[in-house]
Structure 1
Amino acid sequence: MAESPAGRRRGGPAPQTRLDELLEGLQEQVAQVRATRDRVHTLLDAVLAIGSDLDLDVVLRRITESAVTLVDAQYGALGVLGEEGRIRQFITVGMDEDTINAIGHYPEGHGILGLLIREPEPLRLPDLGQHPESVGFPEGHPPMTTFLGAPVRVRDQVFGNLYLTDKRGDAEFDDEDEAVLRTLAAAAGVAIDNARLYDETRRRERWLAASSELTRSLLSGTDTDQVLHQIAATIRRLADAALVTLAVPLTDGDELVIEAADGEGAERVRGLVLPATTLAAKVYHSNERITSSSLSDEPQEGGGSAAQIPLGAGFLLPLGGHEHARGVVQVANLPGGEEFSDATMVMISGFADQAALALEIAEHRREADQLMVLTDRDRIARDLHDLAIQRLFASGLTLNSVVGRVADRPEVAERVQRVVDDLDDTIKTVRTTIYALRERDRSDGRGGLRAKLLAETDQATNTLGFSPALRMTGLLDTDVPDGHAEHLLAVLRETLSNTARHAHATAVEVTAETDGTRLGLRVADNGRGIDPAVTRRSGLDNLRQRATDLGGSLTLTPNQPTGTIVEWTVPLPVQAQA
């Protein structure tokens, strides 16, 4: 039976509609395939981009920027983990500088960020504010809703975490976004590992070059003080630190003195005496490294460089092996600066051990050279005694016998007698020289000016009620003659006594220094100052007279904001400068 035209019209559109639906579905699949292809290409480009540089900071920045681009997020961050699971570095993308400054400090690892640190697995949230672990945002922080996080592992260890928030278009992060972030995190781990290996290689090269230069300087006879300053400058360069100090023990007692410093505020701490309560003294006696996120907040009873300059993250380690430490190295950044990585601390520890070994080798060499000099002096003294003096004595006896024979010629006899007297004086001079050759440089150096200065300030603690801060710079034990040293100690004793009786101070800073040509003493307190109504100042007159007798001067100036500064300065004699 033939189909009517009306029937054909009623059934005609059905196949066309079905075909259109199939074509639309095919187009959607093609679009999805193209989008997936484009996203894969973008991911591959991102992987190549983050692996194309070996500078770690650049790599970390590129990882964060790539993550934000790939998942189409508004904000992104990479938190690098430090000791005890705390965030020590935080790299952000999507925030301007004003917003970052308004927030203040970076997160420390609480709330959702802390959850991802404790449980390093991918985390996806439609609204992070609704999660039970959420602790909210600090003042000035932009609002955030959707969240996607994933850990970044380097050799099976969690290096840090990627954080992404607010997918654009008010959408939520999906499974595909999570898969992309997982892939990027895996590639990031490889790139970070390569960058760290490269950075470690560069550091090791600098370390070897610095060690070689240090050893060459020491063995070439460079002065030890200059070498210590070279060590401090090298460590600061290797660690990229703000301040490095190197403290060595004093001859007597448990105190140390900062002999070398390099960086911010180095002049303020160089020569500072460190009491036994400071971290440096504890490191010296324990031979153990100490690290701190804020050195100025550590309890040190007012001592140490951290009491003079605000310091942030840093570490202290012994200069030398576990059996015998030659000093203590402090490496620090200013407040707000980055903490030092374990790799940096290990590298500086290795360099410090090598520097201590080089110092010890140089010291043994100097002792051998000194022994050779002393042996040579003994030989010269014997030759002078056995040969020169005997010949001079024989010549004098011969001339004495001639005097009797020329008694009838007074002028000749007088001339011969003068020669005999000159020979006697020459013999005395030679004997004095022999004694000097045998006794010179045999002193063990104990009881020097530095030790006496320390003893004076320690003794003043009883009358002041607190311990004065003491700073000593220059070769005080070798460049200052005994007479000048006694005057300096007397001036210090009188000044501290006056401060205890009249100033009512709560802090006193003593500085003794010499540059080989002048000797100076500076005592600054925060007391009430000198009363202008008091006219009888016999103590100050004595101090001024001591300075005048040595060709120097005494000045008194107000301290800021309160107190007095006493400065006593005298020239050193020429023989002391030599």
Structure 2
Amino acid sequence: MSDRSAPRLTRLLEAVLEVGTDLDLRGTLQHVVDGAAELTGASWAELAIADPARDGLAEIRTPGRGGAPEPAPRLRVPIHVGDEEFGELRLAGRSGDGPFTAEDEQSVRVLATQAGIAIGNARLYETARRRERWIEGAAAVTNALLTEESAGDALTTVAERARLLADATAGVILQPTAEGGMEIVTASTPEDPDGIVGATIAPGSPVLEQLLGGEPVYVTDSATDPRMTTYVRHRFGPSMMLPLRANGRLIGTLALPRRRGDRPYTAVEGLLATQFASQAALALVLADARRGRERLAVYEDRDRIARDLHDLVVQRLFATGMMLESTQRRPGADDVRDVLDRAVDELRSTVREVRTTILALRQPPAGPPTGLRGRVLRETASAAARLGFPPSTHFTGAVDTRVPDRVGDRLLAALRQALSDTAGRPDVTRVEVVVDASAASPDGREGVRLTVFDGGGRAAGGDGGDVAGTTFTWWAPL
């Protein structure tokens, strides 16, 4: 072995060891590129990835030395991972000794062979890590869903956890509408959530047909894909839409869009997200069943209370009233008779109130709110996450029957804007929303009025009054 070969072999062994010590895929590839440049004395090296979507990587480079322009590649060596061509190692600008030699190429091929093994190991490690994170995330979601108080909280939990696991810009939950389309009911995003909730997919959309068939939808660019029809599509780039199915029924869709220009989802990410969506759908159904059982227990307890009130309290009150009435008929002072009259009247009033309470307790459980009233409540519940507290919501008049859909849609848009503006103001500690379907204009026209008032807490160091608030008012004719 020549004196010149010994240092080269040493450098090759060092490069091979460097390549095999990093389990991070990007770090492994950077070691390959840097090692090839060091072995051959190349001033420029690049690893071009054959399938960028496979691992979410396009190319890895060593910058040209001395700020020289990027030269044309003079040495090309492919890298294989098993039977797959992973990419091509390209080198140029060899300094000092002229063009690349056969010995240079042989050294790079040895390094490329080791790189193929290291890339395979790094892929396996990365896949295992991702799978572990998704499994842990699904378990955390299941645990949270089985302890959450409301259906809205459960959907928000799924959207938020999926967004973090997928490294997405937003986590969005859509649910079927009465018209046969789908509507965004929950959106988790650290950026601009305004206007996302309430966006709809029209009935008959190709995307909707796929989802109804239980198939996930993968989109390279939401802004330009003709299948995407929501008015918020221009905000996003790569996306995947995953059906939430349980017991053969589509209960919703989980959408995970990324920013425009971000890398598309890989096949492994799609598979893990699909598995997460399946488990989340089952957890949502179980959580809903748990809430149903809890509601049933509450109503059973209410029925027991009603029976106790009827069997014990009402009967005792009635018996007491009978005794007082019999006392009235006895001869005695008039002032005592007046006191007894008032006592009898009070007892009769109490009996009526208790009976009214018993009837209310025995009413069957009401279904979820529907119509404009339900949509307003859903908007205020969604705003609670941004405000940090739930707004107080009141209705006057026949909101669901008097307000037509077209006016209701405009009212909801105004409400979203008002709540968004409120969430952006500091020191807001309470919000009151009033929808009045009996409001008339100064000229006597019938209409509906929306009022959103926001206020702060007590003024610091002042007279104990409230911090001044802001009132938003919107009116439309019916």
| Shorter-chain TM-score range | 0.7 to 0.9
Taking the aligned partners of 1:488 and 1:88, their CA distance within structure 2 comes to 56
Displacement, 1:429?
A: 0.7
- Taking the TM superposition and a 5 Å limit, the aligned residue runs for 1:233-244 are 233-244=160-171
Equivalent residue of 2:79, what SS?
A: strand
Q: 2:134 aligns with which of 184, 207, 218?
A: 207
- Taking the TM superposition and a 5 Å limit, the aligned residue runs for 1:6-405 are 33-82=2-51, 88-95=57-64, 142=69, 144-168=71-95, 171-250=98-177, 253-265=180-192, 267-276=193-202, 281-282=208-209, 284-300=211-227, 302-307=229-234, 309=235, 311-321=236-246, 323-405=248-330
Aligned length: 439
The TM-score with structure 1 as length reference comes to 0.65
Taking the aligned partners of 1:541 and 1:96, their CA distance within structure 2 comes to 79
Taking the aligned partners of 2:112 and 2:393, their CA distance within structure 1 comes to 65
Q: Which residue of 1 aligns with 2:426?
A: none
Is 2:333 aligned against 1:409?
yes
**How has the CA–CA distance of structure 1 residues 211 and 543 changed in structure 2, closer, same or farther, with 3 Å as cutoff?**
farther
Q: Which residue of 1 aligns with 2:354?
A: 430
**How has the CA–CA distance of structure 1 residues 509 and 377 changed in structure 2, closer, same or farther, with 3 Å as cutoff?**
closer
Displacement, 1:204?
A: 3.2
Checking the alignment, whether the CA contact within 8 Å between 1:229 and 1:262 is kept in structure 2 is no
**How has the CA–CA distance of structure 1 residues 262 and 400 changed in structure 2, closer, same or farther, with 3 Å as cutoff?**
same
Q: Which residue of 2 aligns with 1:22?
A: none
Checking the alignment, whether the CA contact within 8 Å between 1:147 and 1:165 is kept in structure 2 is yes
Q: Which has the higher helix share?
A: 1
Instruction: Give the counterpart letter for 1:568 in structure 2.
Output: T
Taking the aligned partners of 2:335 and 2:66, their CA distance within structure 1 comes to 102
**How has the CA–CA distance of structure 1 residues 493 and 380 changed in structure 2, closer, same or farther, with 3 Å as cutoff?**
same
- Structure 1 gap segments, 5+ residues each: 1-29, 100-141, 455-469, 500-507, 522-537, 554-565, 571-578
Checking the alignment, whether the CA contact within 8 Å between 2:371 and 2:400 is kept in structure 1 is no
Displacement, 1:496?
A: 8.0
Task: Give me the CA root mean square deviation.
Answer: 4.2
**Structure number with bigger Rg:** 1
* Cα deviation digits, residues 95-145 of structure 1 (max 9, x gap): 49999xxxxxxxxxxxxxxxxxxxxxxxxxxxxxxxxxxxxxxxxxx5644
Displacement, 1:487?
A: 9.4
Checking the alignment, whether the CA contact within 8 Å between 2:145 and 2:157 is kept in structure 1 is no
Equivalent residue of 1:325, what SS?
A: strand
Checking the alignment, whether the CA contact within 8 Å between 2:53 and 2:263 is kept in structure 1 is no
* Cα deviation digits, residues 372-427 of structure 1 (max 9, x gap): 11111112222222332233223222322222224x53222222122221121111
Taking the aligned partners of 1:274 and 1:96, their CA distance within structure 2 comes to 53
- Structure 2 gap segments, 5+ residues each: 385-390, 424-429, 455-470
Q: 1:519 aligns with which of 388, 412, 433?
A: 433
Displacement, 1:195?
A: 1.9
Taking the aligned partners of 1:493 and 1:325, their CA distance within structure 2 comes to 28
Instruction: Give the counterpart letter for 2:269 in structure 1.
Output: T
Mean alpha-carbon deviation: is it higher for 153-162 or for 289-298? 153-162
Equivalent residue of 1:34, what SS?
A: coil
Displacement, 1:368?
A: 0.7
Displacement, 1:75?
A: 2.5
Instruction: Give the counterpart letter for 1:317 in structure 2.
Output: L
* Cα deviation digits, residues 42-72 of structure 1 (max 9, x gap): 2211111111122222112111222222233
Q: Which residue of 2 aligns with 1:502?
A: none
**How has the CA–CA distance of structure 1 residues 322 and 349 changed in structure 2, closer, same or farther, with 3 Å as cutoff?**
farther
Is 2:399 aligned against 1:486?
yes
Displacement, 1:93?
A: 1.9
Checking the alignment, whether the CA contact within 8 Å between 2:159 and 2:186 is kept in structure 1 is no
- Taking the TM superposition and a 5 Å limit, the aligned residue runs for 1:532-543 are none
Q: Identity of paired residues, percent?
A: 29
Taking the aligned partners of 1:356 and 1:495, their CA distance within structure 2 comes to 31
